[in-house]
Amino acid sequence: MALFRLVPTLGYMGAIYWLSSLPGDGDPAQDSLAGFIAWTPPALQNLLHMPLFGLLAWLWWRSLRGWVERSRELLLTAFLLTVCYGILDEWHQYYIPGRYASLTDMLLNAAGALISVWFIHRFGRTEHAPVAR
């Protein structure tokens, strides 16, 4: 049952990968998503990294509750996995035509993950019973 909790997390990571695979030099008139992205101001595009990766951190926290017993270790693991994926995502974008890797985006990804785990720690229920494996 604990393995099933990984499905939304991995699916969400796949969606992030797909979004970062969209070329930055596509024709906005032919691709509605590329058109939406082209019309979104760059500052807003950058800020959207925070909720995108904040949600990923929450999904990792939720997924790993069956494997990691201690609350602080669980939060740290969710944070680190999210930050690592954010770095890999930027590295992946480096090879996509019209896209680039950005240290600012990596920092915004990490900030989103940090805010998410802080909210979980502060307001969420961090105690949990181990899930049968």
Report the pLDDT averaged over residues 42-57.
90
Q: Grade residue 132 by pLDDT with cuts at 50, 70 and 90.
A: very low
Do the domain assignments include residue 129? no
Percent of the chain with pLDDT over 70: 79
What local confidence, expressed as pLDDT, does residue 26 receive? 57
Residue 50: domain span: 3-123
Do the domain assignments include residue 128? no
What local confidence, expressed as pLDDT, does residue 129 receive? 46
Q: How far apart are the C-alpha atoms of 61 and 19, rounded to whole Å?
A: 23
Report the pLDDT averaged over residues 43-57.
91
Chain centroid to Cα 104, Å, comes to: 15
Chain centroid to Cα 25, Å, comes to: 24
Number of domains in the chain: 1
Comparison of pLDDT for 133 and 8, the residue scoring more: 8
